[in-house]
Amino acid sequence: MDNLDEYIKNAEAAILAVLKEWHPRLMEHFGENNYSLKADKTVVTELDKSLEIELKDALKILNPKVGYLGEEHGQEGPKDIFWLVDPIDGTELYIRGLDGCRTLLCLIVNDEPVYAFAYRFVKGDLFTAQKGKGMFHDGVQVHIKPRVLNRLWVEVSIDMNNEETMAAIVRIAKNVNAVLYTKEFLRIFEGFADAHIAASLGGPWDYTPRALFMQEAGARISNIGSETYDYKNPTLLAAHPDVFDDLKNLLSPQA
């Protein structure tokens, strides 16, 4: 793509236009317990499915050579540059009437996340991050704050049926101030947590934007058990560089 920055700017405007048009509809059904279960036993609504299609259609107008990988409708188009799309991330929050639900997108170019977008449509606030250019909340740049290990609040998104994962979280809980499982990872950037650990059953549309947000806010990131980060791996450790190695060591079974 000749001018990636210009494309991202126009794509952000197109995504916001769709979400503002959809806002009354999303709020009309906010808190309604109408859903079905997918094969992985997670909830989905008809709004998830319809909104994903409209987001993809709006982005196709900008550049039909950009592909898509959506939570609800799968892969479509090119794979060298494509959008990860989660129309309602936190559908469980949405049907319960909890305001942490958001629309998540992330642009992948040659297997690298380069732009992340999160819009909490109930609150009407926007989070964006572009690789090498910082992370922003409603236009204000966000930086995670350094804290010593025993004062750390760690937000987790984990499979609680995995014994190895749970054992690692117990080790961490003994060494930090608090382990949180709020399902609202964006609150990290409002000061409600300092680090993020993901080891769950979600897809790349769930965790890839989180990784880029954290990295651009000043965190060090990797997949769990790795020195590097690959968006295709559904695990994430993200923390301030001052405590990253401490958390990494605690996640190890040898800790």
- Provide the residue ranges of all domains of the chain, joining segments of one domain with +: 4-141, 149-251
Q: Which CATH architecture has domain 149-251?
A: 3-Layer(aba) Sandwich (3.40)
Segment 238-247 shows an average pLDDT of 97
Summarize pLDDT for 210-229 with one digit per residue, the tens: 999 999 999 999 999 999 99
pLDDT on residue 247: 97
Segment 35-51 shows an average pLDDT of 92
201 pLDDT more than 80: no
- Nearest Cα to Cα of residue 233 among 214, 209, 251, 207: 207
244 pLDDT more than 90: yes
Summarize pLDDT for 123-164 with one digit per residue, the tens: 999 999 999 999 999 999 999 999 999 999 999 999 888 899
Q: Is the CATH code 3.40.710.10 the one for domain 4-141?
A: no
Helix (H, G, I), strand (E, B) or coil at 16: helix
pLDDT on residue 1: 73
pLDDT on residue 255: 54
User: Tokens at residue 136, please?
Assistant: 């922003």
- If one compares 162 and 117, the residue with the highest pLDDT of the two is 117
What's the pTM value of the predicted model, to 2 decimals?
A: 0.95
Residues composing the chain:
255
Instruction: Compute the distance between CA of residue 194 and CA of residue 190 in angstroms, rounded to an integer.
Output: 10
- Beta-carbon contacts of 118 under 8 Å, excluding residues fewer than 6 positions away, are 89, 102, 103, 104, 126, 127, 128, 186, 209, 213
User: Tokens at residue 94, please?
Assistant: 């949405």
Instruction: Compute the distance between CA of residue 76 and CA of residue 78 in angstroms, rounded to an integer.
Output: 7
Query: Cα separations (Å) of 211 from 13, 78, 136, 140, 186?
Result: 22, 23, 14, 19, 12
Tokens 């399902």 — which residue? 183
Of 84-88, 91-95, 249-253, the poorest mean pLDDT is in 249-253
User: Tokens at residue 163, please?
Assistant: 């014994």
Provide DSSP, 134-193.
EEEETTEE--PPP--GGG-EEEEEE-TT-HHHHHHHHHHHTTSSEEE--S-GGGGGGTS-
What average pLDDT does the chain have? Answer: 95
Task: Give me the torsion for CA of 85, 80, 139, 243, rounded to 10°.
Answer: 90
233 pLDDT more than 70: yes
pLDDT on residue 207: 94
Count of beta carbons in the 10 Å neighbourhood of residue 252: 11
Sheet holding 81-89, edge to edge: 74-76, 67-70, 81-89, 102-109, 112-120, 125-130, 134-137, 140-141
30 pLDDT more than 70: yes
Burial class, 23, CB count within 10 angstroms (exposed 0-12 / middle 13-18 / buried 19+):
middle
Helix 4-28 to helix 46-62 angle, to the nearest 10 degrees? 150
